[in-house]
Amino acid sequence: MPALPLTDFHCHSVFSDGVLTPLELLDLAQQRGVRQLAITDHDSVRAYSPMLTKQAQQRQIALVTGCEFSCVWQRRNIHVLGLNMDLSHPSLMQAMASQATARQSRAAKITRVLQRLGFVLTLPEIQKLAGVGSIGRPHFAEYLVTSGQMPSAAVAFKRALGSGKPGDVKADWPSLETVLGWITNAGGVAVVAHPLKYKMTLTKLRSLLDDFRQAGGQGIEVLTGFQAPARVNALADLALRYELYGSAGSDFHRPGQPWAELGRLAALPERCTPIWQLWT
Q: What is the pLDDT of residues 245-272, one digit of tens each?
A: 999 999 999 999 999 999 999 889 999 9
Residues contacting 94, CB < 8 A, separation 6+: 182
Q: Other CB atoms closer than 10 Å to residue 96's CB: what's the count?
A: 18
Which residues on neighbouring strands pair with residue 81, listed in sequence order? Answer: 68, 191
pLDDT at 2: 39
Dump pLDDT digits (tens) for 55-95.
999 999 999 999 999 999 998 999 999 999 999 999 999 99
Which pLDDT band, with edges at 50, 70 and 90, does 207 fall under?
very high
pLDDT at 132: 86
CB–CB of 32/5 below 8 Å? yes
Mean model confidence pLDDT for the chain: 94
Q: What angle do CA 109, 100, 7 make, to 5 degrees?
A: 120
Q: Considering the domain 100-161, what is its CATH architecture?
A: Orthogonal Bundle (1.10)
Domains 7-95+176-278 and 100-161 belong to one CATH topology: no
Dump pLDDT digits (tens) for 122-174.
999 999 998 888 888 999 999 999 999 999 999 999 999 998 899 998 888 99
pLDDT at 3: 42
Residue 62's Cα: distance from chain center in Å? 19
pLDDT at 73: 96
Residues contacting 34, CB < 8 A, separation 6+: 5, 6, 7, 8, 61, 262, 263
Q: Measuring CA to CA, which residue among 31, 40, 46 is closest to residue 11?
A: 40
Which pLDDT band, with edges at 50, 70 and 90, does 1 fall under?
very low
pLDDT at 5: 43
**Is the C-alpha dihedral spanning 252, 33, 35, 56 positive or negative?**
positive
Which pTM does this prediction carry? 0.91
Kindly tell me if the per-residue pLDDT of 244 is higher than 90: yes
In this prediction, residues 29-46 reach a mean pLDDT of: 96
CA pair distance 222, 234, nearest whole angstrom: 9
Query: What is the fold, at CATH topology level, of the domain defined by 7-95+176-278?
Result: TIM Barrel (3.20.20)
Q: Would you list the domain boundaries of the chain? A: 7-95+176-278, 100-161
pLDDT at 280: 78
pLDDT at 40: 98
CB–CB of 90/107 below 8 Å? no
Q: Measuring CA to CA, which residue among 99, 203, 89, 110 is closest to residue 162?
A: 110
What percent of the chain lies above the pLDDT cut of 90? Answer: 89
